[in-house]
Structure 1
Amino acid sequence: MDSSKQQFRAGEGQAMTEDWLQSAKDTTTGARDNVANTAQTTMDAAQQRKDETASFFQQTGDQMKNMAHGAVDTMKNTIGMNDNSNIKK
């Protein structure tokens, strides 16, 4: 084989190697981007669930507080200790 054919094949091999390397880099970059996007989506969903849970507990706490006040008022009314019933006329 003469030297020009060897150089041509060497050039072809180098070009193929560079193509494979670029393909590997592109695949790696794509995979990295997919992982980053998935992580961000997961973090966003977790934050939303955290906010929803906090809101649920806040609402539940408010409801319990209102029920306790209602129970106290009912007891006061029952035993005649309601502040409104003691108002002097």
Structure 2
Amino acid sequence: MNNTESASYKAGEAKGQAQEKGNQLLEKAGNAAQSAKESLQEAGNQAQAKAQGAVDAVRDAVNKN
């Protein structure tokens, strides 16, 4: 393998490694986004349940009087 072929091979290898690293970073970002989405959904569900509990408590208090 001459110098030109060697340099071309190394450039191709570096490009492949950079692409793989980019793919790994995109996968991590996607996983983080999915985790954040799930956390926000859970927080929303909890807030909704608390609000419903408050509504029920007020309704019960009003109906007792």
Out of 37, 54, 60, which is 1:71 matched to? Answer: 54
Larger Rg: 1
Superposed CA RMSD? 1.3
Q: Which runs of 5+ in 2 are unaligned?
A: none
Name the aligned partner's letter for residue 29 of structure 1. Answer: G
Note if 1:60 corresponds to 2:43.
Answer: yes
- The structure 1 segments of at least 4 consecutive aligned residues displaced by more than 6 Å after TM superposition are none
The normalised TM-score by structure 2 is: 0.91
Name the aligned partner's letter for residue 36 of structure 1. Answer: Q
* Aligned residues between the structures: 64
Higher helix share: 2
The normalised TM-score by structure 1 is: 0.67
Out of 23, 30, 39, which is 1:47 matched to? Answer: 30
Q: What is the aligned partner in structure 2 of residue 11 from structure 1? A: none
Relative contact order, CA 8 A, sep 6+: which one is greater?
1
